[in-house]
Structure 1
Amino acid sequence: MAAEVEEPVNDTVRLLWGPPAKPTRGPKPALSLERIAAAGIEVADAEGLGAVSMQRVAALLDFTKMALYRYVPGKAELVALMVESAVAEPPAAPAGGHWRDQLTAWAEELTRSFGAHPWLLDATVGPRVMGPKELAWLERVVSALDGHGLTGAERMDAAVLLAGHVRGIVEQSRAAGAEGSPEAQLLAVLGTLIQRHAADYPALAAAIAEPGGQDNALDFGLARILDGLAALIDQRAARP
């Protein structure tokens, strides 16, 4: 009988899912993947993902860049380690908890995670290998919607939709910086113009003039997404 051929494992998979290969040459390992990831996160938190390099991280750890390469093959793998280390744990799924409450908690915690490390927005785009902790975020959404009449593809799409909404709001907040919320900045820039030209933009002028307005784009969008999922779930449940 032919021997089974093992599929090749790339460096990112090896580093994230382990066990990592140990350096086979040179002195006894003095670094750990945890320390390396922490150094990269320190740089990214302070200056953004673009400031992260193998040279910069090695210097922060008081090692040479060549020494760092004994543990991490390159920047792509370094960033993957940083993401897996920096991303928060997904909220635990309570026994018997309603799917809507679970997804609300999920979106709120993801917002906090991106807010704590804004560079995660740049590091988590495109097709790539996810680590165990990050993949658990996807598992939480798919699991919460299991058994409610949605297909596997629809449950996956729901996770993408929720994450996209959170990312969009956090991205706007990052652009706004410490100067206020995106909505408040937009009104500060355009409010006077809209009022001055209210005859041309009557709906906008009336909307911004209404009392009781507040910056709640995250909650408003999240509620509407969940309303849509609830309508689809109810529709499927009503099928004969």
Structure 2
Amino acid sequence: MDEQRDAGAGASAAVRLLWGPPPGKPARGPKRGLTLEGIALAGVGIADAEGLGAVSMQRVAGELAVTKMALYRYVPGKAELVALMVEAAMPVPVPDLVPGPAAAELAGGWREGLAVWARELYEGFRRHPWLLEATVGARVMGPRELGWMERALAALDGCGLSGAEAMDAVVLVAGHVRGIAEQERAAAGSAGAGPDAQLAAMLGEVMRVHGERFPALGAALASVAEHGGQDQALEFGLERILDGLGLLVSRRAGGGGGRR
């Protein structure tokens, strides 16, 4: 019960920090000196340079030349600090498509809208790799992060998908982007080699000795080396996901299949 109350209190604090006080109630708190934006950006700078694990209330306070107790007057704890950092690091999600049935006629339609969305999300993870850690699990999301979800769902509006199908489609695309970004993060620092190139390098000696046991893998690695097709998994996977969604959208347009 205590843990549930603590979680609820933390969520309420994060909502107030990310979304502001409830309408009609005056804002309370310390006089302006530090700002939530400045605090968040200090945390983002630390996380960009050293990773999310290096971020602490003490470290951020030091960056801002204040005491940790002074920082607590603005932000109640690290969870809320990280929530503010995520909001600050997320780019503003400018819509590519106008919601509604006419969306398919604009900016290349739903497919191009989701493709652009996925690539921009991927670039966000590349700029701030710690976002991969900070954006998992049940947590309060701010206006920018919810704006990203809204933008993806708006691209699918008018395609004939149910709300549940549209949500699943967005989760599927986001999961693919996250998976590729996580692989690249794990591969970072290895002389600029991407995940596929690293795999080939690590398996080189093994394949030279035992390659006859894994002929399909050997042929695939040889093709990668010959044609330079490695490290294109983001676009390949994205296109195949969109191909599958296209079949579902076509089925809905033709009146086939049920909706969840």
**TM-score under structure 2 length normalisation:** 0.84
**Does the CA-based 8 Å contact 1:100-1:226 persist in structure 2?**
yes
What is aligned with 1:3?
none
CA distance 1:91–1:193, change in 2 (3 Å): farther
Does 1:178 find its partner at 2:192?
no
**Does the CA-based 8 Å contact 2:152-2:170 persist in structure 1?**
yes
Residue 108 (structure 1) shift: 0.6
- Give the total of aligned pairs: 230
* Deviation per residue, 1:77-109 (Å, 9 max, x gap): 000000000011224314512111111110110
**Does the CA-based 8 Å contact 1:103-1:144 persist in structure 2?**
yes
* Residues 75-114 of structure 1: pairs in structure 2 closer than 5 A: 75-94=78-97, 96-97=106-107, 98-114=109-125
Could you tell me which of 213, 218, 224 is aligned with 1:205? 218
* Residues 134-173 of structure 1: pairs in structure 2 closer than 5 A: 134-173=145-184
CA distance in structure 1 between the partners assigned to 2:77 and 2:159 by the alignment: 43
CA distance in structure 1 between the partners assigned to 2:53 and 2:230 by the alignment: 34
**TM-score under structure 1 length normalisation:** 0.91
CA distance in structure 2 between the partners assigned to 1:133 and 1:19 by the alignment: 17
What is aligned with 1:22?
28
CA distance in structure 2 between the partners assigned to 1:82 and 1:215 by the alignment: 30
CA RMSD of aligned residues (A): 1.7
Which region of structure 1 is more displaced relative to structure 2, 85-94 or 112-121? 85-94
**Does the CA-based 8 Å contact 2:97-2:155 persist in structure 1?**
no
What is aligned with 2:3?
none
For structure 1, the 5+ residue unaligned runs are: 1-7
Letter in 1 for 2:90: V
**Does the CA-based 8 Å contact 1:195-1:205 persist in structure 2?**
no
Residue 143 (structure 1) shift: 0.8
Letter in 1 for 2:41: A
What is aligned with 1:51?
54
Which region of structure 1 is more displaced relative to structure 2, 118-127 or 91-100? 91-100
Which structure is higher in helix share?
2
Letter in 2 for 1:65: K
* Deviation per residue, 1:141-192 (Å, 9 max, x gap): 1111111111101111111111111111111111111321011000000133
CA distance in structure 1 between the partners assigned to 2:231 and 2:83 by the alignment: 33
CA distance in structure 1 between the partners assigned to 2:208 and 2:216 by the alignment: 11
What is aligned with 2:205?
192
CA distance in structure 2 between the partners assigned to 1:136 and 1:117 by the alignment: 18
* Deviation per residue, 1:12-55 (Å, 9 max, x gap): 0111011494325xxx3311001100111111111111111111
* SS state at 1:197 partner: helix
What is aligned with 1:5?
none
CA distance in structure 1 between the partners assigned to 2:130 and 2:89 by the alignment: 10
* Residues 5-16 of structure 1: pairs in structure 2 closer than 5 A: 10-16=12-18
